[in-house]
Amino acid sequence: MPTPLNTASSTRNGLEILQGRSGFAQLAPEWQRLVETQMPAQASPFQHPDWIGAWLESICTEPDRLQLLALRHHGELVAVLPVEPHACPLARLLPQWTMIQGPHMVLAELAGGPARWPTMLQALATQRTLRCSALQLPSMIHELAPAAEALPAGSTLRRVHRSESAWLDCSGDTEQALARVQRSFRQNLRRLGRRADSQGQVALEVADTPEALEEALTHFLDIEASGWKGRSGSAIRDDARRVGFYRALVRDFGARGECRIHRLTLDGRTVAAQFALRGGRQLNLLKIGYDEAFSAIAPGHLLMLRIIERTCADPALDRLSLVTNPPWAHLWKPELAEVDHLTLTAPDWSGRLLGRLMQWRDRRQHTTAPAPATPDSSTLPTQFGGT
């Protein structure tokens, strides 16, 4: 059994720090119980140990860099913060840590829920084992991030708005979910649907059992690689590590009925596909793709309509999240949640120094940066191009 990195692990309160694959294996069962006993509205696949486990198993190349900050109260696990060293020129003098994030892990959350941020940050500020001048939170939805009043005395928070996470309210019927969508786009969807029906039998296939998911994953990977991603070499199928990541998600989330692969088929042929994970009352669309040979019927949009209808009809779901805000999403008029990059500096000399350096850098960049170009909405693609 691995030895935790600090003495707080032997107490009933405080921060326990575990490392790498062995630390993950030790903590995972308790971590899973923590996430699965949360209120359904607060549950998220990005808090689950299987999310980090899939990364650790397939994408991570240096597992010993992983540190799991496990917060306990009266002996009970109440929060988990997975971090790894943040690469920067000043790392030796001013070490920083960052939540796990990457091209296929674009959102991060604190396991245990945002209400645990104040206690977690206070515990991190008072521990003496892990040298930490700053904590980087590179992909936090604004409403789930720690507020400034949650910071320990002497800490600072730097917020940079980076992107948005788009979502649709599916707590009512389909008409309510699409109430803001332009009439012309809805008319175009009906026209495209008739065109698709004239070419063959159109069907929605939903895989949500381990056996069905294994087969559906092959179809999904083929579709995702069939267009520009395949031509550019950026498709999931072209990288064995990324394929392993999605296979691990299928295996672990699929075993609990929390993974779904949706396929739109035309006479049995897959023309569009979506990979989704369920968390609480929200369905999260992680990846999408369509067959460009059928672009005349916009199969991605037709599949999206079917998924919206199905989500609205499911009494266990309230939201459909697109996770990111892809260029085609504006046609569906989704709600947008801000996604920020936060830097939390420590309340000691190293954190204060780092905070001053960041302020100096921000002022320098502000005075030298060119004026941003005005985006031209006419250049946005209208087809379902993937994320």
Mean pLDDT of 115-125: 94
Give the pLDDT of residue 380: 28
Mean pLDDT of 82-100: 91
Mean pLDDT of 159-187: 96
Mean pLDDT of 37-51: 88
pTM of the full structure? 0.88
Choose the weakest-confidence range: 4-13, 60-69, 267-276, 319-328. 4-13
Mean pLDDT of 87-95: 85
Choose the weakest-confidence range: 131-145, 207-221, 350-364. 350-364
Give the pLDDT of residue 370: 65
In the chain, pLDDT over 70 holds for what percent of residues? Answer: 92
Task: Band the pLDDT of 369: cuts 50, 70, 90.
Answer: low
Mean pLDDT of 230-239: 86
Give the pLDDT of residue 371: 55
**Could you tell me the strand order of the sheet in which 96-99 lies?**
14-19, 67-73, 76-85, 96-99, 134-141, 335-345, 156-169, 319-321, 282-290, 269-279, 259-266, 202-207
> Does 346 have pLDDT greater than 90?
yes
Q: Are 183 and 189 a contacting pair, CB within 8 Å?
A: no
Mean pLDDT of 166-185: 97
Task: Band the pLDDT of 11: cuts 50, 70, 90.
Answer: low
> Does 9 have pLDDT greater than 70?
no
Give the pLDDT of residue 49: 97
Give the pLDDT of residue 223: 94
Choose the weakest-confidence range: 205-214, 246-255, 353-362. 353-362
Q: Could you tell me which residues come within 8 angstroms of residue 176 by beta carbon, excluding any fewer than 6 positions away?
A: 169, 312
Task: Band the pLDDT of 25: cuts 50, 70, 90.
Answer: very high
> Does 53 have pLDDT greater than 90?
yes
Q: Is 264 exposed, middle or buried (0-12, 13-18, 19+ CB in 10 A)?
A: buried
Mean pLDDT of 197-205: 97
Cα separations (Å) of 384 from 41, 69, 247, 284? 29, 39, 24, 17
Mean pLDDT of 91-115: 91
> How far, in Å, CA of 19 to CA of 378, rounded?
49
> Does 241 have pLDDT greater than 70?
yes
Task: Band the pLDDT of 379: cuts 50, 70, 90.
Answer: very low
> Does 7 have pLDDT greater than 60?
no
List pLDDT tens digits, range 277-309: 999 999 999 999 999 999 999 999 999 999 999
Q: Are 171 and 366 a contacting pair, CB within 8 Å?
A: no
Choose the weakest-confidence range: 83-92, 116-125, 223-232, 347-356. 223-232
